[in-house]
């Protein structure tokens, strides 16, 4: 299933996150890259260099928007100014789909600027799904929610994280941005089998996959996006594309960012799994 | 609503200031033990207590917001010193937590907050306020709105008798008491230099910044913070230019703005030189693209 209604029936390949240290390289060398993912908030501004750079990127590359602050799981209504600016950017980029996280991060108008984990309750699932629908109706593009890495669980939870994800996406009828690194990180922090998670996700809703590296501490793992992807995460990726098919894949590298070539080389390792998958289908 | 109550309780703990050793406080918001507070909401696991799991988020919050302010206000950090700057940021964020989806606006209220809380900058109040204003102007100019520039054919359509000109929204006009533009450039230059081969090099830079701050003498300056080829520049302008540009921005006619500029001039420009002064100023501003069509569409829309 190369494309589905949650990613605008597109067949995007392997992308990388557009990050400032790589601007000069990309604009001067024009490397062949399937697509770039941008952090929407970095470009929800009135003018200046960031939008100038983005316009040059848009002339040559496909761009998909990824948000970090919509907080679908926060109780309050979506911020109107946020929505207005997001829609304005959607018109500029023509992103075929839009993603943000399945989390909360603000309450009573105060922002933590973090991706805080949801309590896995039916009340939260209902509210979150309603908010996803509201945002999608406003921006008028397909929407996918991303599972986050987490370091805490709540007593009030009534289901597992993957059951909560399924409950939300079914209620909202939206797509999933499946972050296999986040599944790995959370599985280690909360002692569950990551394959159970991957096998439970509705494959026909997977619009995009994220891969990334992380940092291991003595008692927990932190999602830092500052290392190459480790083998256990590649194995999860392999399983994810076995189930979801050839899916738009993006490598996130946000801290201690190496050269463009190194980041791109790491991302292209996904081809190995995608090629095996294509071969298996052909046979 | 149960979800709302949970989010309020967790956010209060997450946004509560850390201890001096950057750990979560033992005392919970509203009193009581934080370990009991955390245990009410957060499950422990086989490696971490409820307290330790909540602490991860508490620390992440503060590292993120303090890092963001340090990145946006390196000049103020140099003026106050690292330790006092961080303490000031904690007090500011505790009283005025972020109310915007983007970290870009985290320092939007810093100037007004400092005016109400001068104890944080008591011996360097004027210098610190000047620096905050300049650094916020820098942010506003970097990604501020740009309207299409005024063309000569646009001028032909305007009535010259009551001619009004619009200044680009991204141009920020500042009247300052210290030459903080020089200081900020010096601080930024130190930060941008990629050579970080040894601690000794860093120490030398730190000392040179401190010297630059302590040596800074008051001097009234007028500044236009503007953009050229998508880079931000600090341009010193004459007092008359400042008054003239400010008057134009406030909707005064060109004729009235010129009148105001020379009326308030601290060192009057001789009458014979005024025409040349005005002509040169307008030519320069036009060349820098500071005039725009007032009714034009906003960039990005």
Q: How many domains does chain B have?
A: 2
Residue B104's nearest CA partner among B132, B77, B65 is: B65
- Note whether residue B117 is domain-resident: no
- Note whether residue B116 is domain-resident: no
β-pair type (A98-101, A104-107): unpaired
Biggest distance spanned by C-alpha atoms of chain B: 85
- Note whether residue B61 is domain-resident: yes
Identify the residue with better confidence: B295 or A201: A201
- pLDDT digit string (tens) for A131-175? 999 999 999 999 999 999 999 999 999 999 999 999 999 999 999
CB–CB contact A152 B144 (8 Å):
no
pLDDT band at B196 (very low <50, low <70, confident <90, very high): very low
Chain A residue numbers touching B300 (CB-CB < 8 A) = 45-47, 51, 88, 92
B 78-97: CB under 8 A from A = 97
Domain hosting B301: range is: 148-179+216-301
CB–CB contact B227 A154 (8 Å):
no
Long-range Cβ contact pairs of B5-11 (< 8 A, separation 24 or more):
B6/A119, B6/A154, B6/A156, B6/B41, B7/A74, B7/A75, B7/A104, B7/A107, B7/A116, B8/A107, B8/A108, B9/B37, B9/B40, B9/B41, B10/A116, B10/B41, B10/B54, B10/B57, B11/A106, B11/A107, B11/A108, B11/A110, B11/A112, B11/A116
Q: What is the per-residue burial (b if ≥16 Cβ within 10 Å, else e) of A78-96? A: bbeebbebbbbbbebbebb
CB–CB contact A119 B300 (8 Å):
no
CB–CB contact A114 B14 (8 Å):
yes
Q: Is the pLDDT of residue B93 over 90?
A: yes
User: Which one of A41, A48, A123 has the shortest CB-CB distance to B230?
Assistant: A48
* Smallest Cα distance from A45 to chain B, Å: 6
- pLDDT digit string (tens) for A31-57? 999 999 999 999 999 999 999 999 999
- Note whether residue B228 is domain-resident: yes
CB–CB contact B145 A47 (8 Å):
yes
**What pLDDT, on a 0 to 100 scale, did the predictor assign at position B259?**
93
CA distance A88 to B145: 14
Fold of the A14-282 domain: TIM Barrel (3.20.20)
Both tokens assigned to B300: 């990005």
Biggest distance spanned by C-alpha atoms of chain A: 56
Last residue in a domain, options B35, B67, B99: B67
Chain B residue numbers touching A88 (CB-CB < 8 A) = 300-301
- pLDDT digit string (tens) for B216-267? 899 999 999 999 999 999 999 999 999 999 999 999 999 999 999 998 777 7
CA atoms within 13 A on the CB side of B214: 7
Residue B301, burial from CB neighbour count under 10 angstroms (0-12, 13-18, 19+): exposed
Last residue in a domain, options B13, B35, B67: B67
Secondary structure class of B237 (helix, strand, coil): strand
CB–CB contact A45 B97 (8 Å):
no
CA distance A40 to A18: 11
CB–CB contact A51 B170 (8 Å):
no
Last residue in a domain, options B36, B67, B98: B67
- Note whether residue B229 is domain-resident: yes
Which phi and psi (to 5°) does residue A207 adopt?
Answer: -90, -30
The domain spans of chain A are: 14-282
ipTM of the complex: 0.95
User: Which one of A44, A75, A219 has the shortest CB-CB distance to B48?
Assistant: A219
Entry pTM? 0.92
DSSP B121-187: GGGGHHHHHHHHHHHHHHHHHHT---PPBP-HHHHHTS-GGG---EEPTT-EEEEESS-HHHHHHHH
CA distance B37 to B237: 57
β-pair type (A175-179, A143-146): parallel
Clarify whether residues B168 and B295 are in a common domain: yes
- Note whether residue B188 is domain-resident: no
Residue B84, burial from CB neighbour count under 10 angstroms (0-12, 13-18, 19+): middle
């Amino acid at each position: 299933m190369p494309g589905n209604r949650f990613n605008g029936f597109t067949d995007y390949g392997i992308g990388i996150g557009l990050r400032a240290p790589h601007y000069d390289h990309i604009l001067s060398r024009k490397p062949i890259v399937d697509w770039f993912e941008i952090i929407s908030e970095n470009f929800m501004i009135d003018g200046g260099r960031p939008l100038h750079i983005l316009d040059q990127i848009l002339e040559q590359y496909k761009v998909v928007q990824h948000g970090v602050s919509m907080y679908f799981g926060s109780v309050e209504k979506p911020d109107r100014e946020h929505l207005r600016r997001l829609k304005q950017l959607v018109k500029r980029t023509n992103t075929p789909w839009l993603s943000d996280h399945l989390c909360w991060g603000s309450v009573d108008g105060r922002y933590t600027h973090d991706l805080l984990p949801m309590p896995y309750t039916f009340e939260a699932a209902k509210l979150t799904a309603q908010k996803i629908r509201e945002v999608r109706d406003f921006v008028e593009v397909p929407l996918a929610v991303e599972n986050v890495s987490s370091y805490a669980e709540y007593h009030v939870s009534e289901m597992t994280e993957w059951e909560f994800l399924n409950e939300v996406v079914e209620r909202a009828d939206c797509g999933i941005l499946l972050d296999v690194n986040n599944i790995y990180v959370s599985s280690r922090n909360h002692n569950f089998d990551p394959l159970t998670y991957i096998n439970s996700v509705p494959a026909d809703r997977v619009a995009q996959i994220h891969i990334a590296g992380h940092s291991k501490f003595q008692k927990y793992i932190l999602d830092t996006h500052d290392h190459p992807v480790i083998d256990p995460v590649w194995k999860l990726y392999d399983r994810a594309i076995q189930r979801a098919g050839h899916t738009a894949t993006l490598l996130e590298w946000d801290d201690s960012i190496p050269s463009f070539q190194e980041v791109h080389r790491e991302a292209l390792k996904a081809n190995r799994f995608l090629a095996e998958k294509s071969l298996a289908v052909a046979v | 609503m149960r979800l709302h109550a949970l989010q309020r309780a967790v956010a209060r703990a997450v946004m509560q200031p850390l201890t001096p050793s950057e750990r979560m406080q033992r005392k919970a918001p509203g009193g009581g033990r934080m370990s009991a507070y955390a245990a009410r909401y957060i499950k422990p696991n086989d490696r971490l207590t409820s307290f330790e799991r909540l602490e991860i988020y508490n620390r992440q919050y503060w590292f993120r917001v303090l890092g963001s302010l340090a990145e946006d206000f390196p000049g103020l950090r140099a003026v106050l010193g690292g330790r006092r700057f961080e303490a000031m940021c904690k007090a500011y964020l505790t009283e005025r937590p972020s109310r915007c989806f983007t970290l870009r606006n985290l320092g939007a209220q810093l100037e007004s907050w400092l005016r109400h809380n001068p104890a944080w900058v008591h011996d360097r109040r004027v210098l610190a306020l000047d620096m905050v204003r300049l650094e916020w102007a820098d942010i506003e100019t970097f990604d501020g709105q740009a309207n299409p520039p005024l063309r000569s054919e646009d001028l032909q359509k305007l009535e010259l008798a009551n001619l009004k000109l619009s200044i680009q929204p991204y141009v920020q006009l500042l009247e300052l008491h210290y030459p903080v533009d020089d200081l900020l450039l010096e601080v930024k230059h130190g930060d941008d230099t990629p050579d970080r081969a040894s601690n000794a090099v860093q120490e030398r830079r730190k000392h040179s910044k401190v010297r630059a701050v302590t040596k800074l003498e008051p001097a009234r300056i007028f500044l236009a913070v503007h953009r050229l080829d998508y880079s931000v520049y600090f341009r010193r302008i004459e007092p008359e230019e400042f008054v003239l540009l400010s008057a134009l921005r406030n909707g005064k006619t060109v004729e009235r703005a010129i009148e105001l500029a020379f009326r308030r001039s601290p060192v009057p420009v001789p009458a014979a030189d005024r025409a040349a002064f005005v002509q040169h100023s307008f030519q320069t501003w036009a060349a820098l693209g500071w005039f725009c069509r007032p009714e034009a569409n906003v960039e990005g829309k």
